[in-house]
Amino acid sequence: MYVSIWCHNLNLSSRSLAIALVVCVTLVYFSYSFNACLFESISRSLQQSNLRNLLTLQRRNVSSEPVKDAGTAPEATSSTAIMPNSTGSAASIGSGIASVDGAPKYQMLRQQGLRPSRHLPDTLIIGVKKSGTRALLEFIRLHPDVRAAGSEVHFFDRHYQRGLRWYRHHMPYTIEGQITMEKTPSYFVTKEVPQRVYHMNPATKLLIVVRDPVTRAISDYTQAASKKADMKRFEQLAFVNGSYSVVDTNWGPVKIGVYARYLEHWILYFPLSQLLFISGERLIMDPAYEIGRVQDFLGLKRVVTEKHFYFNATKGFPCLFKSEARSTPHCLGKTKGRNHPHIDANAIERLREFYRPFNNKFYQLTGINFAWP
């Protein structure tokens, strides 16, 4: 009898234990499922919040950086890079920089983590007008490590009061290792410019293209005459009272050719080691040679060579097989290689006599004999 009661109680305890175990397992399962769902929901919310914050930040970055080369940027007193906005996220601007620069390669650069930014120029082409400065700029910017402002900015002679912030924002975007360059030929003859450039960066490298000052004066006159139909003849403007005995040194095309006078202002602030003089005549006849010298001077690998040029016999001027802007053969423009008017031989000879002592002084200052007639 006692055995029967004990067995009955044992069966009842086993069922209770099994039921309790099932209930516990069920509670654990529902608790785990609930907590997992809650954690996933919280995680999703945090991710969405971070994404919204990131998109908001990028929109602010884009709106803070204009997509044209005009406006202002942070002040700088040297060529050190300053990022376009306070977050330093110029690379994340995406299409903003690509649209400014117009170069698809910057999309690849951003993907590689490189951050294009604007710098003050490392190098200036400061002159001389009508000696080949545009040709020099177009030829050297074939180099992938050279980026240049497309037009003459005239900061140091006309817009200096606007400040370095304004100037820097007119420079192209560059990445680490690239040189920023600007060309304004009137810098060479403007008295205040050497000191102003020195204050920006005393280590600035300066490129100066020079040519026979008589030929340069005629080229200068030819350009002006092409814009003014009733312009007086060259001989009337180059000499006082129509006589070849007295040269009019106040006339711009004649005055600019006294190179030594202007160079003396520059070497007060910059050593000759920071100046490179390029022969305008040789730049036309052998562009690869002169561009090779420029690349060496700037510490660049010689990438631009004779394979980039061909000579146009009609224009009498070197042209390009391709350039940064165009992938097809082309010349620099209709104004390059323009035919000069006939000038009286006696007037030319008188001008050569006038320039000869100034040329010799220029040879002494530079240590280069350009062998002008």
Check: CB of residue 80 under 8 Å from CB of residue 181.
no
- Collapsing DSSP to helix, strand or coil, 183 comes out as strand
**Which one from 130, 228, 334, 361 is the annotated catalytic residue?**
130
Separation CA 118–CA 244 (nearest Å): 51
What are the residue boundaries of the structural domains of the chain, listed by start?
Answer: 109-220+255-340
pLDDT band, residue 76 (cuts 50/70/90): very low
Side chain identity at residue 102, one-letter code: G
> Is residue 164's pLDDT more than 50?
yes
pLDDT band, residue 187 (cuts 50/70/90): very high
Instruction: Say what the pTM is.
Output: 0.70
For residue 327, give the DSSP letter.
S
Q: What is the pLDDT, as a whole number, of residue 332?
A: 77
Continuous segment of H or E residues that includes residue 312 = strand 309-312
Q: How far is CA 233 from CA 273, 307, 340, 341, in A?
A: 41, 41, 12, 9
Q: What is the pLDDT, as a whole number, of residue 110?
A: 58
State the CB neighbour count (10 A cutoff) for residue 315. Answer: 16
- 340: CB partners within 8 A, 6+ apart: 218, 219, 222
Binding residue per annotation — 132?
yes
Average pLDDT over every residue of 241-270: 96
Of residues 38 and 342, more confidence is placed in: 342
Of residues 48 and 274, more confidence is placed in: 274
Binding residue per annotation — 336?
yes
Check: CB of residue 266 under 8 Å from CB of residue 191.
no
Separation CA 136–CA 291 (nearest Å): 8
Length of the chain: 373
Separation CA 329–CA 309 (nearest Å): 9
Binding residue per annotation — 337?
yes
334 is catalytic: no
Binding residue per annotation — 63?
no
Sign of CA dihedral 148, 103, 324, 333: negative
Binding residue per annotation — 130?
yes
Separation CA 257–CA 249 (nearest Å): 10
Which option is the CATH number for 109-220+255-340: 3.40.50.300, 3.40.640.10, 3.30.360.10, 3.50.50.60? 3.40.50.300
Burial of residue 116 (number of CB atoms within 10 Å: 0-12, 13-18, 19+): buried
Among residues 109, 110, 105, which one has the least CA distance to residue 93? 110
Average pLDDT over every residue of 150-168: 96
Q: What is the pLDDT, as a whole number, of residue 103?
A: 54
Q: What is the pLDDT, as a whole number, of residue 115?
A: 84
